[in-house]
Structure 1
Amino acid sequence: MEETVTTAARDHAVVYAPQIQELLARKEKVFRIDATTVGVSDVQLIAAVVAARPVLAPERSVFKPAAGADIDHDSATRTIRALGQDVTTALQAPAPPAHRLSGPWPDAATAYLRQWLFSSDPLPVSLLSKRGVTRSDTLSRIADRAVTAWPGADGGGTALARQIRTAPSVQDKRQAVALYRRASATLSDGVAALATNALWLMNRADAEEVARCGRTAVLWETLRLLPPAWMLFRTGGDAYAGLHPAIGPQDDIALFPLLMHRDPEYWTDPLVFRPQRWSGVDEPERTPGFMPFGFDGARCWARHMVVPLAERLLDVALEQGIAIRGAQRGTHVPLRSLLSVRFEAGAAL
C-alpha cells in the first residue's frame, strides 16, 4: 500500500513494509494479529493496558536484564542522568562537520550522532558506540569483554563511560558496559529516525509554513505522523484478561501509536502534515490520542533529550545545505523496530 501524505505544497508517497501496510488498512481498533497476539490502537484501551501493571524487565529496551541479572532502579537512574549530562555537553559544544551527514539517511545521521556524543571516549569504550560493532553480536561480545577488562584511562570522556570505570564490582562493570552500548545506540538511532522523518516531511511541505511554525512543532507533528516508536509490546497475563473481550489471559498485546495517531476521532485531517496544529500547545504529550513516548508510568527514559537533540541535528543539516538528493517523490519504510523513511542526502551544490 502506498500512503500519500498531504502537505500544503504537494503530495508525496510513503510506501510501508507489507506488515505495516496491513495494519494501516485495518478499520478495527482491537484486532487479532495471530493466535497469541492482539493488536490495539484504541486510545482508552491502550491507557488501560499500560495502567494494568508495571512494565516487566524483559519488556524494556535499555533496562532489560544484562549480564545475567536485572537492572536495578539506581543503576537505571544513574544511566539516565549520565546520558542527560552527555547530551547537554554535546548541545553546548560545536557540532562535527556537516559533510558527515551526506549519504543514506538515517544511517548517516546515526553515525553522526554517535560521533558527536561519544567520540571523546577512549578505546576500547568508544567501540561500544560504533554501528559496525553494535550490529554484530560477535563483535559486541568481544568489545564488551575488552571494556570490562580495560575500560580505558581515568579522566575525560563521557559521563556514561565513567559509569563503567567507577563500577564497584565485575558484575556492576558488565552491566555498565551493556547499558552504555544500549543507551548510546537507542538514543542515537531514535533521534536519527525522528530527524530523518522530519527532514523528509519538511522537504515536501510549504517552506514558509515550516519556518513560521518552527522546528519544534515540525518534530511534534513528525512524532504524530511517523513516530519512530510505532509499536509497544506487552507480554500477556491475567492483568489484561478483563480489559476487553478479545483479550485472553495468554494473549500478548501489541500497542500501536502509529494507528492511534491517525484516529480521525482525535485528529483533524489525520494524514495531513500540519506542524501548525502544535502552535501554542504548551504540553504536547498531554494531547489526547498522542503517545510519542508512552503513557504516564511507562514513558521513554530519554524523552527529554530526544526532541532538543533532533532539533539541533536538523539545524546543523539545514544550515549546511544538507538536503534530499534528486527529485525523490517516494520513499520506503522497512519493517524495523524504529519506523524511519530512507533516502540519500547531501550538501546542495
Structure 2
Amino acid sequence: MEEPKPVTTVAAAAREYRVGYDPQIQDLLTKDMKVFRIDETTVGISDFPLISAVVAARPVLASERSVFKPAAGADIHHDSATRSIHALGRDVMAGVRTPPPPAHQLSGEWPYAATSYLRTWLFSSDPLPVSLLSNRGVTRSDLLSRIVDRAVTVWPRSGGESKGTMLAEQIHDASDTQNRRQAIALYRRATATLSDGVAALVANALWLMGPERHEVPRTEHTAVLWETLRVLPPAWMLFRSGGDVYDGLHPDIRPQDNIALFPLLVHRDPDYWSDPLEFRPERWNGVEDPEKTPAFMPFGFDGARCWAKHLVVPLAERLLHVALDNQLTIHSPQQRTHIPLRSLLSVRFEAEVAAQASAP
C-alpha cells in the first residue's frame, strides 16, 4: 500500500513558498539568546521557565489587555467585559450557522480580504452606522473613527428595527453616554480582534500548507491550524510593563525595564520541539489539549489568555474550509511573501477564488 503523502514542511515549502520577515523580526529569529536587550527600556525573553516566572509574578494589568484596556476615560468593569465575551461567543456561533457569503469575496489581498469576509459573515446584520465601527476604511482613519463613534453614540434606534448582533445590542442598551461609549469601544475592539486574528491565522495556514494545500484532507485541518499557531503565531509578542515585582528573576531585568515575551521564539526552541523549524501538523495527532503542551502559548498565558481563544480555531477551520472548497489560488511573485512588523504576525499575498466556485 502506498504511504500517504505527508503535509509539506516549512523547509520544503521554502523552496516554493518562502517567507520574508521584517528585518527586526528576522533579527529576533537569528538571536541565540534567551534574554536580550531590545532597547534602553525593554528586555526581550524567549526562555519558557523565565516567561512563566514573569507571568506568575503579578496579574496582567488593564493597560496590557488589548480589548479590555480603559476606554472613554474609564476602566472596563469586569461585568462589562464578561458580557461582551458572552455576547461575542453567541454572535459567532449564530453567524457560522448561517451560509457563508459568496466565496468570490475572498479574492484579493490577504489577510485583508479574509478580515472583510469574516466581518460580513458574522456582523452584517448590524444596522448602520454600527456596522461602520469595524469597517477597515473607517478604522484606518482617526477622523472617520471619531465621526462614526459620535454618530453611534447619539443615534436612536427605532422600535421596529432589527436588533442585529448581541454586541450591537449592548450599545443600544447602554444606560448613559459614558456606558454607550465604552460599549462602542468594546464592539470595535472585539470584532476587529477576532476577525483580524482569525484572518491572519488562516492566511498563515494556507501559505504554510504550500502547493499541496488542496490535497490535505479536511480531517487534518485542525492539526494544520494548531501547527500554524506554533510556527507563525499571530500573537507573536506579548508586553508587560516593568516594576519591582520582577526583581531577582534575572540579573538583566531592571525594575524600570518593560518586558517583551516572545511566543514566536519559544515555539522554535529545540529544547521543547523536535525539528522546530519544520511545519509538521502530524505532531498534534492524539494531543487532546494542545494548550497544555509545554512551551506552547498561542493565546497567551494562564490568567491572561486571549478572551476569545475558544472561538478562534473553530472559526478559522470554517474559513479554511470555505477557501479550499472554493479552490482559492495564491498568487505571489516568485512564490515569496512578506511579514511586516505589525502587532499580528501575518503573511501577505494575493489570492483568487475560482470563478465557477460557489459558497457551500
Q: Which residue of 2 aligns with 1:193?
A: 200
1:27 correspondence with 2:32: yes
Q: Which residue of 2 aligns with 1:231?
A: 237
Structure 1 residues 109 and 8: alpha-carbon distance in aligned structure 2, compared to 1, 3 A threshold: closer
1:78 correspondence with 2:83: yes
* Secondary structure of residue in 2 paired with 1:214: helix
Structure 1 residues 39 and 211: alpha-carbon distance in aligned structure 2, compared to 1, 3 A threshold: same
1:324 correspondence with 2:334: no
Q: Which residue of 2 aligns with 1:267?
A: 273
One-letter code of the match for 1:75? S
Structure 1 residues 133 and 152: alpha-carbon distance in aligned structure 2, compared to 1, 3 A threshold: farther
One-letter code of the match for 1:257? P
1:131 to 130, 136, 140: 136
8 A Cα contact 2:103 2:326, kept in partner: yes
Return the alpha-carbon distance in structure 2 between the equivalents of residues 247 and 93 of structure 1: 50
Task: Map 1:115-194 onto structure 2 (within 5 A).
Answer: 115-150=120-155, 152-153=157-158, 154-194=161-201
| Structure 1 residues 295-332: Cα deviation after superposition (integer angstroms, max 9, x where no partner) | 11110001001111110001011111112126742211
Structure 1 residues 281 and 151: alpha-carbon distance in aligned structure 2, compared to 1, 3 A threshold: farther
Structure 1 residues 326 and 71: alpha-carbon distance in aligned structure 2, compared to 1, 3 A threshold: closer
After superposition, the CA RMSD in angstroms is 1.7
8 A Cα contact 1:40 1:256, kept in partner: yes
Identity of aligned residues (%): 71
One-letter code of the match for 2:220? G
One-letter code of the match for 2:107? S
Return the alpha-carbon distance in structure 2 between the equivalents of residues 21 and 10 of structure 1: 18
Return the alpha-carbon distance in structure 1 between the equivalents of residues 156 and 29 of structure 2: 46
User: How far does residue 135 in structure 1 lie from its aligned partner after superposition?
Assistant: 1.2
Aligned length: 345
Q: Unpaired runs of 5+ in structure 1?
A: none
| Structure 1 residues 127-173: Cα deviation after superposition (integer angstroms, max 9, x where no partner) | 10111111111111111111010154454200100010111111111
TM-score by length of 1: 0.95
Task: Map 1:36-51 onto structure 2 (within 5 A).
Answer: 36-51=41-56
Q: Which residue of 1 aligns with 2:221?
A: 215
8 A Cα contact 1:7 1:274, kept in partner: no
One-letter code of the match for 2:108? G
* Secondary structure of residue in 2 paired with 1:38: strand
User: How far does residue 348 in structure 1 lie from its aligned partner after superposition?
Assistant: 3.6
User: How far does residue 205 in structure 1 lie from its aligned partner after superposition?
Assistant: 4.8
Return the alpha-carbon distance in structure 2 between the equivalents of residues 328 and 92 of structure 1: 38
* Secondary structure of residue in 1 paired with 2:10: strand
Task: Map 1:59-70 onto structure 2 (within 5 A).
Answer: 59-70=64-75
1:288 to 273, 281, 294: 294
1:304 correspondence with 2:278: no
One-letter code of the match for 1:170? T
8 A Cα contact 2:198 2:316, kept in partner: yes
* Secondary structure of residue in 1 paired with 2:294: coil
Return the alpha-carbon distance in structure 1 between the equivalents of residues 293 and 150 of structure 2: 45
* Secondary structure of residue in 1 paired with 2:324: helix
User: How far does residue 341 in structure 1 lie from its aligned partner after superposition?
Assistant: 0.5
| Structure 1 residues 17-73: Cα deviation after superposition (integer angstroms, max 9, x where no partner) | 010011001001111111110000100111111111111111110100000000010
Q: Unpaired runs of 5+ in structure 2?
A: 1-8, 356-360
